[in-house]
Structure 1
């Protein structure tokens, strides 16, 4: 079970840069109008790693593995599109996190949400992105056509009780399940040479959480 930092977004704010429920958002001039959070959940600055969460969970843990996963330790009890993966053949055909399981909405309130896979795709397509270091912290800088930018630190991911790949890469959860293989969910993955939307194997592991 991997834990990743989470990214969250307000969907209907009309101003450029501003605040929503005490958290700063940045307008990158994206076609959808999506505004992205200035920092990760749990972070005080944009270079802090912030907190890590398993997919669909809203509480932090000391250990991230299948045995401690909220929605099933062996077979899934929620977010399952294939009976082979569900407990006693369970399916619910949910392909996106409910608001009650969205850590951005849970902790930040307002209209904040974890991004969808499509919003991550838009971020990649409509910004310039480059690997850089800010205040000694490595990560990816995304700059919109309007000149505004957000920085995603290379926060790595957690598995079990350990932190891996910090400083060399990061995974940021989307709210979107991989319907073809419901033990995976989509995430933004980057390292020094590239940035992609992919699905994370063993999605219930722990990656960083950011709010946009």
Structure 2
């Protein structure tokens, strides 16, 4: 009975049983409300978990050969690198011929982890966020072992009502580790790249400058697609 009561309290408060952090639905005056943190995050500033597009569990590595919607279990490391190997024939779902262009709720990690009121934003909803908010790059010190590192991210403030959310830089998890996790950011949308179904749309940002980590404007979503097998964080929305 005590365990059941604890679970009910978590549900009411919007707490993640795995992290103990309460996610909130932030009203930015847009068509949807945005979560205050990523799926699997322990705080607003935490990147949280990485997921391949359409998968609902985090993994220790991200390859085509361990992507659940791929029939490529025998791929070698070189096969992973050769881009001409990636064509719709390697896919088992969302492959173009099935007519699906947006993730079903069963394949939406936000819905599966947080409940049916939450989902991964569409490409259009990310664009709405981009166009109706001001974006300020910030950095904060974080201790990793014996070292202190600067972790970057954008404070995103609504031009409509002044409310804000924070999007931590995440990088892209390719293979066994994230690439540039504190300097660039990529987040999944629920939208398939219909022109090339081995890819899905993501929202991608870097602060600007020649190396991509100085103050600047984030990259537009329309210019960024990634292979679905890569690992990215998820920032949910609710209607």
TM-score tier after normalising by the smaller chain length:
0.7 to 0.9
Displacement, 1:20?
7.5
For structure 2, which runs of at least 5 residues remain unmatched after alignment? Answer: 1-11, 16-22, 73-89, 143-150, 209-216
8 Å Cα contact 1:47/1:135 also seen in 2: no
Following superposition, which runs of at least 4 residues in structure 1 exceed 6 angstroms of deviation? none
Task: Give deviations 1:63-97, integer Å, cap 9, x for gaps.
Answer: 1100000111441110011xxxxxxxxx2010000
- Which of these residues, 137, 143, 151, is aligned with residue 157 of structure 2? 143
8 Å Cα contact 1:184/1:199 also seen in 2: no
- The alignment partner of 2:55 has SS state of coil
- Which of these residues, 152, 163, 169, is aligned with residue 167 of structure 2? 152
8 Å Cα contact 1:183/1:202 also seen in 2: yes
- The alignment partner of 1:188 has SS state of strand
For structure 1, which runs of at least 5 residues remain unmatched after alignment? Answer: 1-18, 82-90
Which structure exhibits the higher relative contact order, with contacts defined as CA atoms closer than 8 Å and separated by 6 or more residues?
A: 1
Larger Rg: 2
Compute the TM-score of the two structures, normalised by the length of structure 2: 0.73
- Which of these residues, 163, 184, 207, is aligned with residue 192 of structure 1? 207
- If each structure's strand is expressed as a fraction of its own residues, which one has the higher value? 1
Q: What is the match of residue 230 of structure 2?
A: 205
Task: Give deviations 1:101-124, integer Å, cap 9, x for gaps.
Answer: 000000000410000000000000
Going from structure 1 to structure 2, the CA distance change for 1:166 and 1:43 (only over 3 Å counts) comes to: same
